[in-house]
Amino acid sequence: MAEHTKVPASMKELTQVDPWLEPFVEELAYRSSLANQWIEKFNANEGGLLAFADSYKTMGLHVQKDNSIVYNEYAPNATHACLIGDFNNWAHDANVMTKSATGHFTVTVPPNADGSPGIPHNSRVKIFLTLPNGEKIARLPAYIQRATQPPKEYNNPSYEARFWNPPQKYTFQNKRPKLPASLKIYEAHVGISTPEPKVGTYNEFTENVLPIIKDLGYNTIQLMSVMEHAYYASFGYQITSFFAISSRFGTPEDLKRLIDTAHGMGLRVLLDVVHSHASKNVEDGLNMFDGTDYCYFHSGGKGVHDQWDSRLFNYGHYETLRFLLSNLKFYLDEYGFDGFRFDGVTSMLYLHHGVGAGFSGDYNEYLSPFAPVDKEALAYMMIANDLGSLYSAANDCTITTIAEDVSGYPTLCRPREHGGVGFDYRLAMSIPDMWIKILKHKKDEEWDMGDITHTLSNRRYREKCVAYCESHDQALVGDKTLAFWLMDAEMYTHMSVLSPLTQVIDRGIQLHKMIRLITQSMGGEAYLNFEGNEFGHPEWLDFPRIGNGESYHYARRQFNLIKDDLLRYQFLYQFDKAMNETETRFPWLNTEPAYISLKNESDKVVVYERANKLFLFNFHPTNSYVSYRVGVETPGTYKIVLNTDRIEYGGHGLIDEGKSTFFTTDLSWNGRRNFVEVYLPARTGLVLALESDIARA
């Protein structure tokens, strides 16, 4: 029981940061101990967590030094198994496997007479299993590293497993970049990253999109839909083969080249990892792998996510942990990823998977011994973060982990040694919801400065957040991007500089920039943007499916728009670039939270300081303010380092920045020791920095 668990002294860090956690320290220690017990087992049985996560090197198919191939598969319910494929003409009586007491089947395929591997590169393979009732089933190897869709003439949509052993292995040329001072993340999907209505490739992304990401000033890429998924329209969230990268985008060598090239450009790459659930596909997935519904998953209703129509892992099962943890290390080792964004963490955290559950913030909802928390899943996430820490120490790098959790689970982003779950960041998922609700339901004069600043600043102290205005979720069909909410009525008719600047387009361009700047500078310790949204991509995202006639028209990103000097998209692109470059030069992300000194509802003005910079926003649709007095703590001379109203960002150039030098007056104002007076045009955001800091930057 939790109340009998010894509380480590290191957990005092938690209660020093948040005294309200004091009544729950024993439960937190108990939950942490569950993960520690697994670590102890791995130390005793496997030689440690890193060695256990190396299981991908022995599970599945692997070429030995003598070119023999050893195949190892976990299928405890099967009574008989053999490896079949093109190499043995799919013979069911050849290459019979031996079953161990632990439920693992193994077989060695000897080399050919000429010494070459007995299974040709890129040839098809399956495991053929006999069940206790005599039924025969064929499955794709669970650890297979390549799966492809058969040609259409086969009239079978199920993916095929391929033995991947290319004659030329990719050799990485570049080391992982060091962890930047602050993460500026570009969320991207390779398949939609071309202007043409088609499936984009890893190579096209490398050649065409990486330079854009670098130019914009982002330092981290978050790649979606990498793990193989048979259904393209699932957006990569119905995984069928976890160790295989999506073949529709290219080969493993192509993806390695993408990541290596990104590293050479100083860009880190995170993998959007889906360990929260798996596809229900049987023929080309993990479901019913050995004839049971519990090989890797919970049995019965507990193993099914009704809303997602998918299978749920049993995180308390030794072989499931082997599969998932080695899956993480595989992507670190083989592809050089720099970390993970864990999808569906809310579903993992709770026995109800977040379905129909509201979270008031009462700690008992999360931390009571009787709270509906899946403690096995929680232990898995702790171990996964331990793996990242151990890998970082062993490889002189920093593996980053981000959690997608909407529930606000306390301690999710606190260090493991302090009793936390160990994630580095969580997504600030309330922020995009706020912006959508405001744009959808409120007139400009009804915007509430207090509500906006509360949502942007309301996060757990010392638990880092990734702020974002919109991600892929808001770009999907059925919703609208911010640019669409702001300007969809005229985006197709008035985004040309040759057409008059209408009120709709002018409002949209100005607010689009302001929303991004206030979100990045106040909303978190890192920042994320979904590809195309930075320049106000004019269309939503919809994958080919029956409902749209299998069309690729909306499954693309029109990067060509930013290259057209006659279109206003270039202004938003240039502002996004300037915002990131200014943050790099005058860092404010990954610093102490902002101090908000003014939330003026009638003026629609927000003023705050962060990292010794002064941020000013005038959201009023018509009112501009001359000699507007704002408080500032640090005395000195201030100048503008970023101004949303500049002509090159689609603004009106109302501020003469050459003459805009602001001297503090030694008089308290709005709770700050000094004040300055500024000209603040309507719908404008400004960032001011000390002249001395500008000289050093």
Query: Are residues 387 and 335 located together in one domain of the fold?
Result: yes
What band does 358 get if pLDDT is binned at 50, 70 and 90? confident
> Does 547 or 626 have the greater pLDDT score?
626
Query: Are residues 574 and 603 located together in one domain of the fold?
Result: no
Query: Are residues 346 and 399 located together in one domain of the fold?
Result: yes
Query: Are residues 428 and 474 located together in one domain of the fold?
Result: yes
pLDDT at 44 over 50: yes
Query: Are residues 102 and 205 located together in one domain of the fold?
Result: no
Q: What average pLDDT does range 580-602 have in this prediction?
A: 98
* Terminal CA-CA length for the chain: 55
Which residues, including other chains, have CB under 8 Å from residue 200's CB and lie 6 or more apart? 190, 191, 192, 193, 194, 249, 556
The answer to whether residue 177 sits within a structural domain is: no
Give percent of the chain with pLDDT exceeding 90.
93
Query: Are residues 393 and 456 located together in one domain of the fold?
Result: yes
Do residues 217 and 589 touch, judged by C-beta distance below 8 A?
no
Q: Determine which helix (DSSP H) or strand (DSSP E) holds 139, and give its type and residue range.
A: strand 136-139
Q: What is the pLDDT of residue 469?
A: 96
Looking at residue 353, what DSSP letter applies? T
Give the least confident one: 166-175, 221-230, 473-482.
Answer: 473-482
Which tokens belong to 560?
């060509």
CATH assignment of the domain containing 509? 3.20.20.80
Active site residue 550: no
CATH assignment of the domain containing 95? 2.60.40.10
Q: Is 0.75 surpassed by the pTM of this model?
A: yes
Which tokens belong to 158?
């199920």
Do residues 562 and 535 touch, judged by C-beta distance below 8 A?
yes
Which residues, including other chains, have CB under 8 Å from residue 74's CB and lie 6 or more apart? 59, 102, 103, 104, 105, 142, 290, 295, 319, 322, 323
Query: Are residues 608 and 566 located together in one domain of the fold?
Result: no
Number of domains in the chain: 4
Q: Which residues of 563-596 are buried (b: 16+ CB within 10 A; e: fewer)?
A: eeeebbbbbbbbbbbbbbebbbebbbbbeebbeb
Active-site hit among 404, 405, 539, 645: 404
The answer to whether residue 120 sits within a structural domain is: yes
Identify how many contiguous H helices and E strands the chain contains and give both numbers: 17, 29
Give percent of the chain with pLDDT exceeding 70.
99
Rounded CA separation 229/285 (Å): 9
Query: Are residues 519 and 398 located together in one domain of the fold?
Result: yes
Q: What is the pLDDT of residue 2?
A: 55
pLDDT at 121 over 70: yes
pLDDT tens track for 60-72: 999 999 999 999 9
Ranges assigned E (strand) in 335-399: 339-342
Which tokens belong to 110?
């000897």
Rounded CA separation 584/26 (Å): 42
Rg (CA), the chain: 27
Query: Are residues 381 and 298 located together in one domain of the fold?
Result: yes
Q: What is the largest CA-CA distance in the chain?
A: 90
Query: Are residues 415 and 518 located together in one domain of the fold?
Result: yes
Domain range for residue 16?
2-53
∠ CA 72-73-76 to the nearest 5 degrees? Answer: 135
The answer to whether residue 111 sits within a structural domain is: yes
Do residues 19 and 363 touch, judged by C-beta distance below 8 A?
no
Rounded CA separation 457/173 (Å): 41
pLDDT at 545 over 60: yes
Q: What average pLDDT does range 233-237 have in this prediction?
A: 91
Rounded CA separation 697/690 (Å): 11
Q: Supply the mean pLDDT for the chain.
A: 96
Which residues, including other chains, have CB under 8 Å from residue 440's CB and lie 6 or more apart? 485
Q: Determine which helix (DSSP H) or strand (DSSP E) holds 467, and give its type and residue range.
A: strand 465-467
pLDDT tens track for 188-214: 999 999 999 999 999 999 999 999 999
Q: What average pLDDT does range 254-276 have in this prediction?
A: 98
The answer to whether residue 168 sits within a structural domain is: no
**Domain end position, chosen among 53, 69, 89:** 53
Q: What average pLDDT does range 678-691 have in this prediction?
A: 98
Do residues 376 and 315 touch, judged by C-beta distance below 8 A?
yes
Rounded CA separation 445/50 (Å): 56
**Domain end position, chosen among 527, 559, 585:** 585
DSSP 52-84: HHGGGGTSEEEE-TTS-EEEEEE-TT-SEEEEE
Query: Are residues 549 and 605 located together in one domain of the fold?
Result: no
Give the least confident one: 160-164, 361-365, 523-527.
Answer: 361-365
Active-site hit among 18, 272, 343, 405: 343
pLDDT tens track for 450-508: 999 999 999 999 999 999 999 888 877 677 899 999 998 899 999 999 999 999 999 99
pLDDT at 78 over 60: yes
Rounded CA separation 39/45 (Å): 10
The answer to whether residue 326 sits within a structural domain is: yes
The answer to whether residue 176 sits within a structural domain is: no
The answer to whether residue 364 sits within a structural domain is: yes
The answer to whether residue 368 sits within a structural domain is: yes
CATH assignment of the domain containing 649? 2.60.40.1180
pLDDT tens track for 126-137: 999 999 999 999
Burial of 637 (0-12, 13-18, 19+ CB in 10 A): middle
Q: What average pLDDT does range 327-339 have in this prediction?
A: 98
What band does 1 get if pLDDT is binned at 50, 70 and 90? very low
Looking at residue 624, what DSSP letter applies? -
What band does 3 get if pLDDT is binned at 50, 70 and 90? low
**Domain end position, chosen among 163, 195, 212:** 163
> Does 2 or 364 have the greater pLDDT score?
364
Active site residue 445: no
Strand order in the sheet with 637-643: 595-600, 605-610, 613-618, 684-690, 637-643, 661-663
Question: What is the bridge-based pairing of β-strands 69-74 and 220-224?
Answer: unpaired
Q: Which amino acid is at 152?
A: K
Query: Are residues 368 and 243 located together in one domain of the fold?
Result: yes
